[in-house]
């Protein structure tokens, strides 16, 4: 059965990109570590079926995501260099992402961000802006409406 693709009202989010000072403070290694821990959370979450089931697959997926976040947070455009245009909404289309899945994804990220300043040297003063970005960005990934 073919599902109807939902488009969030208002189109792509108009959210402010995270401050590039984040990468300057954290560095690539810490961002990769943070995303590995985030994917461990995802692998144990209510949306785990959207992610690779093996530890190796989950780690590889976390590295693709980390490459995106390195560039987003002010580092080199690793994702584009390794995988091409991010086109994140298109890349997420194979998965039926509704608002509940989005909220679970955000909850997983928030669990990792709780101790991010200590564990990954994430600058605490930039956490509110980063969370606001994640909220807006994740809203655009929703592709399945409440009526589906």
Query: Where residue 44 sits, what CATH number does that domain have?
Result: 1.10.490.10
Model confidence pLDDT, tens digit, residues 56-79: 999 999 999 999 999 999 999 999
Interval 6-22 mean pLDDT: 89
- Please, what is the average pLDDT of the chain? 94
Q: Does 134 map to a domain?
A: yes
Count how many domains the chain has: 1
Query: Over 90: is that where the pLDDT of 110 sits?
Result: yes
- Report pTM: 0.93
Q: Are 143 and 125 in contact (CB under 8 A)?
A: no
pLDDT score of 94 more than 80: yes
Task: Select from 50, 59, 38, 45 the least CA-distant residue to 110.
Answer: 38
For residues 48 and 42, the answer to whether their CB atoms sit within 8 Å is: yes
Distance of alpha carbon 135 from alpha carbon 132, whole angstroms: 5
- Segments forming the whole domain that contains residue 48: 21-141
What pLDDT was estimated at residue 146?
A: 78
Identify whether 12 is part of a domain. no
- Asked if the structure places residue 116 within a domain, the reply is yes
In this predicted structure, the answer to whether residue 8 has a pLDDT above a threshold of 60 is: yes
Residue 6, burial from CB neighbour count under 10 angstroms (0-12, 13-18, 19+): middle
Flag whether 41 is in a domain. yes
Is residue 26 one of the residues assigned to a domain? yes
Three-state helix/strand/coil letters over 129-143:
HHHHHHHHHHHHHCC
């Amino acid at each position: 059965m073919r599902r109807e693709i939902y488009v969030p009202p208002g189109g792509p989010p108009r959210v402010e990109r995270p401050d590039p000072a984040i990468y300057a403070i954290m560095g690539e290694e810490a961002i990769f570590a943070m995303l590995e821990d985030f994917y461990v959370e995802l692998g144990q979450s209510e949306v785990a079926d959207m992610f690779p089931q093996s530890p190796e697959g989950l780690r590889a997926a976390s590295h693709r995501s980390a490459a995106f976040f390195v560039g987003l947070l002010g580092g080199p455009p690793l994702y584009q260099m390794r995988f091409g245009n991010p086109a994140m909404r298109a890349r997420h289309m194979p998965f039926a992402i509704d608002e509940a899945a989005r909220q679970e994804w955000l909850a997983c990220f928030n669990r990792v961000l709780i101790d991010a300043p200590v564990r990954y040297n994430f600058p605490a003063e930039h956490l509110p802006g980063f969370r606001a970005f994640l909220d807006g960005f994740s809203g655009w990934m929703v592709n399945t409406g409440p009526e589906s």
